[in-house]
Structure 1
Amino acid sequence: MSILDIIGIASGLLAFSSYFFYIPAILQGRTRPNRASWWIWGGIGALIVASYYASGARGTIWVPLSEAIGPAIIALLSIKYGEGGWTRLDKWCLFGASIGTFLWWFTDSAVVGLVAYLLTDLMAVVPTLRKSLHRPEHEDRNAWGLTFGGQVLNFFALETFSFSLALYPVYMIITNGIIFALQFKKRGAKAFSSIDIVSQCLSDIPRTSAFQQAIQESVKPGDTVLECGVGSGILTLFAAKAGARKVVAVEYDPFVAEAAKRVIAVNNQHTVDMRIGDGRSYEFEPGLKFDAVIIEMLTTGMIEEYQVGVINNLHRQGVVKDSTVFIPSHQDTFATLGNFDFTCYGCTVPFIRHTWKFYDAPMKDFKPFTDQALLHSVDFSRAIAEKFEGTIDFVANKSGVINSVRLSSVCHPTRNSSLSDTHSLNGPVVIPMEEKQVEAGEKIHLSVSYVFGGGYEGFHASI
């Protein structure tokens, strides 16, 4: 056995071992395979096995059969655990793969057959490549690393180099390498849930009553309604009782979803379709359109919660219309520069501080040095840039030291209503900054940048 034979065997074993990472990751909910990709890859494997069988090469069918088993298993698992398969891109890729498969199967030319095969495979790569670009947290880095490593070894197992021989391994190195590299892209924060937060929202009368009124005004009998981030289920109940024909309720946390299902059952609301999933990536069935969308996944400035990511997913999939009513409709965020007393318990603690209205006065001692100014207004009826970058020009109204910026938000349940901070919604946040001495009348330039839903880790503010 030559060294090239050993390298070739090692490349196959390395690539095949990737399935021992990928399949468990699917079953554990850490990976969500794209259906279009894996249906195509599963189909390719089946065709290769069929061609071996039809040609009579049944004694050597076991190698291609072993290579087809992994994609076939993942294709089947994707039906329940995967995502995609119905978007416009997925459909075009499935169509392109059908053309490539036809050419590959019926051509007598080896070169045309190879190009047709690569076209078919490329149609499988594109949906997973797009998913890895936008949501790398839904792929398995270990599995793609092993696949990429196997393809690199496969290239070095070539006995002779020619265009036709090198085209396939080079193509595989490039495509698998790109997907693997995207796994190192900063991953979106995992969705979180807390019964404590859910209970606080439910018990917050001003907040919940404002949303109840907005839903009663906006949801019409016969509407199809979506709520993402169901929590206790109270807003879903409001929509059902308003006469909605169907309410699709999506909750990330399985335990919270089960609790909400019990709440809905006790209230005899049979039009609610409870589902478990992450609203930022949940794939809805073809043809579904919502008349009203309820998403209260808000924090001050939407720095920590995932409202924007969920909204963009709905627009991306086309499940909302120009006439769809969003509850809330929009949110405004304001900034104020000032001086915050960071001393507490005998220590100086320059830490990000939420200043809820029910906190004791010493824990929210912020002295403004400027007027409040609008930082941004986010309209949920359209897709939103997920990274915000903005500036504000202030004029100091007193002399002293500025050491922080205070953010506050006003939520608008409808176009004609507003809701400032309550006991569970949009508590003002004071963020420490480098100290700056200013004089009354001095112009101050504030720059702010962050990713909506990315947390304070990526928040930057400077003057």
Structure 2
Amino acid sequence: MVNFTPYEVNLCLYDQERTRRFKRAIHKVVKPGDVVVDAGSGTGILAMFAAQSGAKKVYALELNKRFIKIIKENAKRNDFDKIIQVVHCDATKYKLPEKVDVIICELLSTGLFFEPEIQIINHLKRFLKKGGRTVPKECRSHIQLIDAQKELYGIKLNYDSREVNLVKDVGVTEKVPLDVLEFEKKREPVILHKPITLKGTRDAIANAVKITTKSELTDGIYSKQTKFLFQPEIIYLKEPVAINKYKRYRMTVKYAGGSDSLHAKFRIEQL
């Protein structure tokens, strides 16, 4: 698990496309009189959207002590300090004092790496009223094998993962579904371990996987790639694999939600 830095939290806040989509979703879901929990509250912006929408109580849960004062001050300056209760805690363990109508948790990243989105929602759902809602509602990820650019600035940079497309990145298989997380329907498994079937689209060497993610925040409101949210996750393979056009391959994918993308395991074999 990697905690967001103040710099990254500000990137989230000022990614206006992302933040406005969450505002629309929260205003659609939260009804006057609702009790809401916002886990991983950061600056408190989503908690304030919930208060703005008429929530009678919002629990803003935040692990990073630096942001506790910021959330409190932002709530006070917007006259929401009597509605928003700020709690310094680990949202994967905190026991809410009452049932809630809505869970908000925006610790989203491509493939659900790095942040404990799944763990937090799974934990907080025990406090969700029957018929309660979550924001986001679901996340869908896709995967493909690519021939990823190996050098930049005249230096080989083909070990780490990255969250940016480079001009020489080329897909060598079809893009296929990897996972669907339906947060409102059920508790989701933390470990992803599944076989994927891919078809080659060119004769080439695959040296990386590319994962993309989009989210349905609530009914009819979607968030795909924005300035900060859901950039592609490109993870270099330990060993490159020869791919032939039209041939089919089985790739077994295994990693834990919230883990570092470098810990993900990929096994590829021709069918």
TM-score interval, normalised by the smaller of the two chains: over 0.9
TM-score, length-scaled by structure 1? 0.56
**Alpha carbons 1:230, 1:257 under 8 Å: kept:** no
**Alpha carbons 1:378, 1:384 under 8 Å: kept:** yes
Mapping 1:101-120, distance limit 5 Å: none
For the residue of structure 2 that corresponds to 1:418, the secondary structure is: strand
Alpha-carbon deviation of 1:456?
2.5
Task: Report what 2:259 is aligned to.
Answer: 454
* Aligned-partner Cα distance in 2 for 1:409–1:365: 21
Task: Report what 1:289 is aligned to.
Answer: 99
* Aligned-partner Cα distance in 2 for 1:293–1:408: 24
Aligned with residue 379 of structure 1, among 160, 175, 182: 182
Cα deviations across residues 3-27 of structure 1 (Å, max 9, x unaligned)? Answer: xxxxxxxxxxxxxxxxxxxxxxxxx
Aligned with residue 43 of structure 2, among 210, 213, 232: 232
Matched, 1:354 2:162: yes
**Alpha carbons 1:215, 1:239 under 8 Å: kept:** yes
Aligned with residue 424 of structure 1, among 181, 203, 228: 228
Task: Report what 1:327 is aligned to.
Answer: 135
- Identity between Structure 1 and Structure 2 (%): 25
CA RMSD of superposed structures (Å)? 1.4
For the residue of structure 2 that corresponds to 1:424, the secondary structure is: coil
- For 2:90, give the aligned amino acid: D
Alpha-carbon deviation of 1:260?
1.3
**Alpha carbons 2:235, 2:262 under 8 Å: kept:** no
For the residue of structure 2 that corresponds to 1:449, the secondary structure is: strand
Alpha-carbon deviation of 1:351?
2.7
Matched, 1:414 2:218: yes
Matched, 1:202 2:6: no
* Aligned-partner Cα distance in 1 for 2:83–2:257: 33
* Aligned-partner Cα distance in 1 for 2:100–2:138: 18
* Aligned-partner Cα distance in 2 for 1:342–1:444: 23
For the residue of structure 2 that corresponds to 1:193, the secondary structure is: coil
* Aligned-partner Cα distance in 2 for 1:336–1:351: 18
Residues 426 and 263 of structure 1: is their aligned pair in 2 closer, same or farther, counting only changes over 3 Å? same
Which structure has greater strand proportion?
2
Aligned with residue 302 of structure 1, among 106, 112, 117: 112
Gaps of 5+ in 1: 1-188
* Aligned-partner Cα distance in 2 for 1:415–1:241: 20
Misfit runs of 4+, over 4 Å? none
Matched, 1:251 2:62: yes
Cα deviations across residues 264-303 of structure 1 (Å, max 9, x unaligned)? Answer: 1000112111111011111222xx1111111001111112
Alpha-carbon deviation of 1:389?
0.3
Structure 1 or 2, whichever has the larger Rg, is: 1
- For 2:182, give the aligned amino acid: D
Task: Report what 2:91 is aligned to.
Answer: 279
Matched, 1:403 2:207: yes
Cα deviations across residues 165-217 of structure 1 (Å, max 9, x unaligned)? Answer: xxxxxxxxxxxxxxxxxxxxxxxx4x623110110011001100000000111
TM-score, length-scaled by structure 2? 0.94
Mapping 1:73-92, distance limit 5 Å: none
For the residue of structure 1 that corresponds to 2:3, the secondary structure is: coil
For the residue of structure 2 that corresponds to 1:413, the secondary structure is: strand
Which structure has greater helix proportion?
1
**Alpha carbons 1:352, 1:429 under 8 Å: kept:** no
Alpha-carbon deviation of 1:364?
5.2
* Aligned-partner Cα distance in 1 for 2:178–2:103: 25
Matched, 1:312 2:122: yes
Task: Report what 1:264 is aligned to.
Answer: 75
* Aligned-partner Cα distance in 2 for 1:443–1:461: 16
Mapping 1:131-142, distance limit 5 Å: none
For the residue of structure 1 that corresponds to 2:48, the secondary structure is: helix
- For 2:30, give the aligned amino acid: V
Mapping 1:63-74, distance limit 5 Å: none
**Alpha carbons 2:137, 2:216 under 8 Å: kept:** yes
Matched, 1:444 2:256: no
Alpha-carbon deviation of 1:397?
1.2
* Aligned-partner Cα distance in 2 for 1:423–1:391: 31
Residues 365 and 305 of structure 1: is their aligned pair in 2 closer, same or farther, counting only changes over 3 Å? farther
Matched, 1:366 2:169: yes
**Alpha carbons 2:106, 2:117 under 8 Å: kept:** yes
Task: Report what 1:71 is aligned to.
Answer: none
Residues 265 and 364 of structure 1: is their aligned pair in 2 closer, same or farther, counting only changes over 3 Å? farther
Number of residue pairs matched by the alignment: 265
